[in-house]
Structure 1
């Protein structure tokens, strides 16, 4: 049995879902992989709770859900006011797990790698802006840098492109990568206008209170940029051409439906070119997904066209991608 020390940054919805999976499947990880995970620190925006012997995740969940902040947790634990960079440097861990939305997290990802720690993340901006720097640093040091959950949650499109199509040349990827816009456009097909569909999405917790990252196409643009980095060569988000769905009217959607088509926010990824924009597509197209599904249609020289479709949102779905990467990183560190 090999013990792996984890330092978890981010204890919002996704972070707590990761914690629950680590608890629920503790026996599974021991029996199947010979791994025991010890979470030595948990951090939210208010505090870093650090105990080298291991943090009680059940108690951490109770504190967070009762008080809304880890800074309220003082019983038997040291609570620190450390920056992520400071925490990465101070805390002895094998893997740093980032499930935050920190747009500057690349700085402490690099610090972790330089300190000999693997990194697992669901955080998109570090890769959308600093992919080459991060992956090259990890490569130089022989450390895992894992990011499955940045694109399509737990649906393994990152692993497919990174680890499995090594003999193929990717020619093109077309994908629907943002579930919020799919939900809004689907509701518009039912007769709601854009504002009404957005409000419904917010009421159901599908859209954020500030929905701009989704409706302006930024989220899909980040994901499409990461796909380009995997399939072709590193670029940054600034090189992508991105237009969201904020200009789509009820009449646009109605006309598409009358033609047997549907409107979706589609990412097109070719070598040296990333485009994200609303597009009218045939109703029978694999891109015509519903609900919270994401899909990627990948065309290669050897395999031809393949479709990978699955949940692109959801807490347990995202936790699936994060925890899978934790296991992969742990096995590589022990190899």
Structure 2
């Protein structure tokens, strides 16, 4: 049985969802993969809980959900005020998981790799701005750097492009990658105005308190940038064209419906050309709810459609934990 020590950065909704999967499927991972995961540190914005013998994840979840911060756990565990960079240097671990929204996380991702640790992340900006540097560092050190959950949550589009279509030359990817805008546009199809649709999305937890990253197309732009890096070559978010849905009106949405089409925020990814903008679509790109979809065109396979949940806690945890298993098995080799 291989024991894998894990550092978890981020203990909000996604971080706790990952912890729950590790708890609920502990036996599954032991029996199927011969791997036992031991979470030795968890960090939220209040501090880092560190116990080399392994943290009780059930208790960690209870503390966070009852008190709102890990630093309240002072009776059982010592809480350290490490920065993420300090934590990856101080704590002995095999794999670092980052489910934060820390835009500067690429710096401590690099530190983790230099410390000999694999990295698994759902955090998009590090890859959207520093893909070449990070992946180059991981390859030089022969370490896994895995990021399935950055695009389409747990729907395995990254793995498909990075590990499976190795003989194919990708020509183009057309994709709907942001579930929040799909929800808003779907509500507008029913006559709800833009501002009201945003409010509904926020009440349901589909949109953030500040929804600008979604409605301005930034989130979809990050994801499209990452797809280009994987399918073609490294670029940065600064090199792509992005237009969100803020200017889309109910009349435009209804007009598209009258033609049998729907307006969706579409990412078009071609070699050295990435753009995100609202488009009238039909067929597989006309998704609803929290679905994401990518239509991949390649020279050998032709058209390949991959569709699935692009948001949700279990769905994102699926991508993160799948990468954790992959990383662990590669470290064993």
TM range (shorter): over 0.9
Q: CA deviation at 1:75?
A: 2.0
Q: Deviations over 1:146-203 (max 9, x none)?
A: 0000000000000000000000000000000000000000000011010111111111
Matched with 1:199 is: 199
| DSSP-derived class of the 1:286 partner | helix
Name structure 1 gaps, 5 residues minimum: none
Q: CA deviation at 1:32?
A: 0.2
For 2:208 and 2:34, the matched residues in 1 are separated by 39
Matched with 1:296 is: 294
For 1:78 and 1:89, the matched residues in 2 are separated by 18
| DSSP-derived class of the 1:82 partner | coil
Matched with 1:114 is: 114
For 1:258 and 1:199, the matched residues in 2 are separated by 26
For 1:59 and 1:75, the matched residues in 2 are separated by 12
| DSSP-derived class of the 2:192 partner | coil
Q: How does 1:116-131 map to 2 (within 5 A)?
A: 116-131=116-131
For 1:202 and 1:78, the matched residues in 2 are separated by 36
For 2:35 and 2:20, the matched residues in 1 are separated by 17
| DSSP-derived class of the 2:304 partner | strand
Q: CA deviation at 1:281?
A: 1.2
| DSSP-derived class of the 2:225 partner | helix
For 1:259 and 1:87, the matched residues in 2 are separated by 55
For 1:133 and 1:286, the matched residues in 2 are separated by 35
Matched with 1:97 is: 97
Q: Deviations over 1:39-67 (max 9, x none)?
A: 00000001100000001000000000000
Question: Is 1:323 aligned to 2:310, yes or no?
Answer: no
Matched with 1:256 is: 256
Match of 1:310 among 308, 311, 327: 308
For 2:209 and 2:115, the matched residues in 1 are separated by 37
| DSSP-derived class of the 2:184 partner | helix
Question: Is 1:208 aligned to 2:183, yes or no?
Answer: no
Compute the RMSD of aligned alpha carbons. 0.4
| DSSP-derived class of the 2:284 partner | coil
For 1:261 and 1:333, the matched residues in 2 are separated by 48
Matched with 1:18 is: 18
Q: CA deviation at 1:4?
A: 0.1
For 1:254 and 1:289, the matched residues in 2 are separated by 16
Q: CA deviation at 1:232?
A: 0.2
Q: How does 1:120-159 map to 2 (within 5 A)?
A: 120-159=120-159
Q: Deviations over 1:196-231 (max 9, x none)?
A: 111111111100110000000000000000000000
Q: CA deviation at 1:74?
A: 1.1
For 2:281 and 2:110, the matched residues in 1 are separated by 41
Matched with 1:30 is: 30
Taking structure 2 as the reference length, what is the TM-score of the superposition?
1.00
For 2:172 and 2:240, the matched residues in 1 are separated by 15
For 1:115 and 1:179, the matched residues in 2 are separated by 36
For 2:86 and 2:304, the matched residues in 1 are separated by 44
Q: How many residues end up aligned between the 2 structures?
A: 333
Q: Deviations over 1:225-250 (max 9, x none)?
A: 00000000000000010000000001
